[in-house]
Structure 1
Amino acid sequence: MSTTVTETSPAIELTQLDSKGQSTYRLSPQTAERLPGNSSGSTHTVSIVEDALQQATEGTQKEFQRKELVQLSALCWGAFLIGWNDATLGPLIPRIQEVYGVGFTVVSMIFVVACIGFCVGALANAYFTDRIPFGKILVLASCLQVIGYAIQSAAPPFPLFVITFAINGVALGIHIAQSNGYVAALNDHTKMGVLHASYGTGAFCSPLVATQFAQLDRWSFHFLTSLGLTLSVIVIDTLVFKFMSQDDCLVHIGRDPGEKSTNENSSNVNQFMGIKAVHVLAAFLLIYVGTEVTIGGWMVTYIIEERGGGPSAGYISSGFWGGLAVGRIALLWVNKKIGEHRVIYLYSLLTIGLQIIIWFVPSLIGGALAVSFVGFLMGPYYPIAMNHAGKILPRWLLTASIGWIAGIGQAGSAILPFVSGAFASRFGIGSLQPFLVVMMVGMAGLWALVPKQVVRRD
């Protein structure tokens, strides 16, 4: 930044040159005289001018911070809806089985179809990231969700009901990818934690509402609530991001849009597909997201059938998601103290221990509390993985790479619950606990394979 000062009889002119352009401020001589510490000497005048310029710069920075907060709040509301969607099925699965007369394996087809949607969404995000502006693709994804929820709310025949989860899967895959990529570009671990705490908050609230709808004749009207939330996301994203590109949105809050690729002969997809770290992180999140959704989805059925819980057992799912939301904020200081890479191993050891307690101790209350603590300790996994991706991946590939990682990770929310349902159909719902323990051990193993160093790719 350079500053030039020109004294003229009518006014003192300040010209601020920076990366965002040129801003000019004018002070009258009378105003300068009234400023504290002024005298007739030119040295004091220059000092006053510099103070005025500093105040103007501070005002600009505050405005940038305010705009950044507005953008982050909009993305957090979208993350709330994603968490709401993921936690909806837990309390509704027993009712869906009752209404459509299907068993564990058949009802698990919901997760298979959703998985296909998430994978398509991840691929679509990688393709459209550089072709459709950030603000516009967020709105288009939410419009797909409106279609899906509208059909679900009518409780259509089971095959059509299942297909709607593919529509929502595509939309969620795109929305998750774009949100994570944008916040990762801000390079702020706290903001990433807040974004994913919003996801956990939505997942906490959803079972509270879904449990009530599950006991009503019009159980499918729960999806009208989801539809209303989606419409609010569309309105907010339109007003905040105004169909702008990600680079324009970053400049709008005073951020550097970042470096660009020097390789014009290869697409972003081809470039990030050749990076091992992308696929290891995607596999890690696939198991992580699958494990958390399996706990939030099937644990209610497990508690009802194995621990004698009643219809209110759906609130246990809220306890898990609530713990997850709190953990993503409350454990930020622990992550910083121990180190984000090492702390995953500590959390893994503790969650495996708690899961074994749920497995072998036949206590309804004890199991419910342990489930909440599992959620609390698993909460930081996802934001830590996203922060790590932001550290080691090339900046110009960040949105496309994180989109792929998040999309494949979200596919885990379909794959693992389906596998759990298949095992429950064959061996009984008691098979849920050993399955979860194995997945938690697998997560720790995959995290050990994640590179710690920055990946270089021109």
Structure 2
Amino acid sequence: MASPTTPNETSPLLQHHPPHSIPSSHDASQDPNASKPDADRTSLTLRIAAAMFSFVVLGLFTSTIGVMLPPISKQYHLSDLFASFIFLVGPVGYVSGAYFNSAIHSTFGQRGIAFLGPVLHLLASVAIGAHPPSFPLVLVGFALVGTGNGLVDGSWCAWAGSMERANLASGLLHGAFSVGAATGPFVAGSMMAKENGEWCEWYYVLATASVLELAVLLFAFRHENALRYRQEKHAEVTHSKGCTSAIVKLPATWMSAAYFLAYVGTETAISGWLVTFMMRSRHTSAYLASLSSSGLWAGMAVGRLTLGYITDRIGVRRGTVIYFLCALLLQVLFATVRTPVVSIVLMTLLGFFMGPLFPSGIVVLTGLLPGELHVAAVSFVASLGQVGGALLPFAVGAVIQGLGIGVFQYAVIVLAAVALILWIAFARLRPIAITDTPRGDDGEAADTEG
């Protein structure tokens, strides 16, 4: 939590800050930037815009894995099982990036993330786009993508969540991600559909986007050094250890983690194998198959923007159950109606009803826990969600390898049903009062400050 005298991200979003002096610190004499007025910082509006562009790039990388899966499998003569390793290395890299976030912030500040995240994106794009002679080198590239994603996703989400108008800031970031996620499959599919189009050309586009991401972020966060970060986050750093020890003792943490593992795994399995399924089972062109993926992500974007009002009226617990039931119905229809155009429409509607399912889990979790545990708990369960995003798509690939691509449409129904059951169990938990917070070994509350 920012110091009360620091007029930074706790000030109203997108509003210019008046000049103030940064609070004194025992490190102030070690860094000439410590005495600079806050007015010298890049405006918050520009930093938000830069983070939004970073999330557009994140969406481009994330949503086109499924589009790239068929041509990469063909290039390297991969079975479905070996192709599934792409889904394993990405989340492993993501968790690694998220793990080092705090150390990078403490050593280099936010500008360290602004440099390392895009550089990893750039290196990964070049490595994959060069279509190296062996598939393991491609996997290294996807691991680098995941690590870069973990750095920028965790960092900018946590930063937005610390602002006074956190919901607005987070909405802007995830809206930007949805723009990139909906655009990526369409553009990548169109490039491959043209005459002599090759899959590696898409990674040249991603390399260019990564260079722009690097330039924009470095300029916007050029003043956000380690000293400034430590001054603003002193209280959070002081109590982070207590938060971690507290959250792992709460049933709400583990129930939400189970839900996120199942839901993120389901979402990743659908987006990752959808294009392959459409081409091999529905016999569509690569272009139409990519449209189904774009439709899924576009539907998610619209669902997150529009269903929030309805959710507020009927309640997040009841509303999420209704969205799950609609999603399951659409999945059943997708499995029974084989017309390609209808399949694309059904996938778009499926994305619409799946859109609120992740944010709803965050809302319920934060309602169950004391405020001082929110940041640590959300970071913890989101990382476990990435584990689901690795294991479940890999498991689906293994099943497809043994039983054929047609099993995909039924496997995702089962996964969604499991996620619904876990949601019902998670949503039935009661809020934890501050006095109920697990206590440390000394008998004191594990953490009493945010």
Common topology (TM > 0.5): yes
**What do the CA deviations read for 1:126-179 (whole angstroms, capped 9, x no partner)?**
655555523423432222222111111101121101121112212212222122
| Contact 1:134 1:245 (8 Å CA) reproduced | yes
Which 10-residue stretch deviates more, 437-446 or 130-139?
A: 130-139
Change (3 A) 1:289 1:81: farther
User: What is the CA deviation profile of residues 24-45 of structure 1, one whole-angstrom value per residue up to 9, with x for unaligned ones?
Assistant: xxxxxxxxxxxxxxxxxxxxxx
Superimposed CA distance per residue, residues 40-61 of structure 1 (whole angstroms, 9 cap, x where no aligned partner): xxxxxxxxxxxxxxxxxx9999
**Of the two, which has the highest radius of gyration?**
1
2:301–2:355: 8 Å Cα contact kept in structure 1? yes
Contact 1:111 1:417 in 2 (8 A): yes
Aligned to 1:38: none
> Is this contact kept in 1: 2:98–2:150, CA < 8 A?
yes
CA distance in structure 2 between the aligned counterparts of 1:85 and 1:310, rounded to whole angstroms: 22
Aligned equivalent of 1:282: 257
Label 1:180 to 1:434 Cα distance change in 2 as closer, same or farther (>3 A).
Answer: same
2:269 and 2:309 map into 1 onto residues whose CA distance is 28
Deviation by residue 1:180-230 (Cα, 9 ceiling, x = unmatched): 222222354343333222222211111112213434454212112112222
- Deviation, structure 1 residue 74: 2.4
Superposition deviation, residue 439 in structure 1: 1.5
Match of 1:173 in 2: 150
Equivalent of 1:359 in 324, 328, 335: 335
Find the aligned partners of 1:338 and 1:246 in 2 and give their Cα distance: 44
How far does the alpha carbon of each residue in 1:91-134 deviate from its partner, in whole angstroms, 9 at most, with x for none? 22211121111121111111122232223223333655555523
- Of 63, 85, 93 in structure 1, the residue corresponding to residue 61 of structure 2 is 85
Higher strand proportion: 1
Decide which of 290, 302, 315 is 2:291's aligned counterpart: 315
Unaligned stretches of 5+ residues in structure 2: 19-41, 438-445
Partner residue in 1 for 2:399: 423
* Aligned counterpart for 1:404 among listed residues 352, 362, 380: 380
Distance 2:6 2:311 in 1: 39
Q: 1:230-282 deviations in whole A, cap 9, x for unaligned?
A: 2222222222233527995899xxxx979647758x46544544444334333
- Does the residue aligned with 1:322 lie in a helix, a strand or coil? helix
CA distance in 2, matches of 1:247, 1:288: 38
Residues 19 and 193 (structure 1 numbering): CA distance in 2 closer, same or farther, change over 3 Å? closer
Q: Distance in 2 between matches of 1:138 and 1:293?
A: 26
1:349 to 302, 307, 325: 325
> Which residue of 312, 315, 318 maps to 1:339?
315
Q: For 2:140, what is the secondary structure of its paired residue?
A: helix
Q: Residue 171 of structure 1: SS of its match in structure 2?
A: helix
Relative distance call for 1:341 and 1:357 in structure 2 (3 A) is same
RMSD: 3.3
Q: Per-residue CA shift, 1:360-404, capped at 9, x if unaligned?
A: 223222221111001011112223333444555555554444333
Distance (whole Å) between structure 2 residues aligned to residue 434 and residue 352 of structure 1 = 11
Aligned twin of 1:25? none
Q: Aligned in 2, Cα 1:218/1:366: closer, same or farther, shift over 3 Å?
A: closer
State yes or no: 1:154 paired with 2:130. yes
Q: 1:340 to 1:184 in 2, by over 3 A?
A: farther
In structure 1, what is the Cα distance between the partners aligned to 2:430 and 2:335? 34
Stretch deviating more after TM superposition (67-76 or 295-304): 67-76
Q: In the TM superposition, what whole-angstrom CA distance separates every residue of 1:276-315 from its partner, at most 9, and x where no partner exists?
A: 4334333322322222222222112222222232222221
What secondary structure sits across from 1:309 in the alignment?
coil
| In the alignment, structure 1 residue 211 sits paired with structure 2 residue 189 | yes
What is the match of residue 244 of structure 1?
A: 224
Q: Distance in 2 between matches of 1:178 and 1:262?
A: 18
Contact 1:153 1:222 in 2 (8 A): yes
TM-score with structure 1 setting the length: 0.77
Q: Distance in 2 between matches of 1:100 and 1:296?
A: 21
Percent sequence identity over matched residues? 25
Classify the secondary structure of the residue corresponding to 1:155: coil
Q: Is the contact between residue 247 and residue 257 of structure 1 (CA under 8 Å) also seen in structure 2?
A: no
Once residues 116 and 70 of structure 2 are traced to their aligned partners in structure 1, the CA distance between those partners, rounded to angstroms, is 32
Q: Counterparts of 1:21-420 in structure 2 under 5 Å?
A: 62-64=15-17, 67-125=43-101, 128=104, 132-156=108-132, 157-186=134-163, 188-215=166-193, 216=196, 218-242=198-222, 244=224, 260=236, 266=241, 269-312=244-287, 313-393=289-369, 398-420=374-396
2: distance between equivalents of 1:60 and 1:418? 40
Deviation for aligned residue 1:324: 0.9
Question: Is this contact kept in 2: 1:91–1:211, CA < 8 A?
Answer: yes
- Which residue of structure 2 aligns with residue 52 of structure 1? none
TM-score by length of structure 2 reads 0.78
CA deviation digits over 1:67-107, x for unaligned, max 9?
Answer: 44433332222222222111112222211121111121111
Aligned to 2:35: none
Quote how far apart the aligned CAs of 1:436 are: 1.0
Q: Judge which range, 140-149 or 371-380, deviates more.
A: 140-149
How has the CA–CA distance of structure 1 residues 278 and 179 changed in structure 2, closer, same or farther, with 3 Å as cutoff? farther
State the alpha-carbon separation in 2 of the partners of residues 281 and 207 from structure 1. Answer: 30
Return closer, same or farther for 1:399/1:221 CA change in 2, 3 Å cut-off.
Answer: farther
The 1:271/1:297 distance shift into structure 2, 3 A limit, reads: same
Displacement after TM superposition at 1:445 (Å): 2.4
Judged with a 3 Å threshold, the aligned counterparts in structure 2 of structure 1 residues 308 and 19 are, in CA distance, closer, same or farther, namely closer
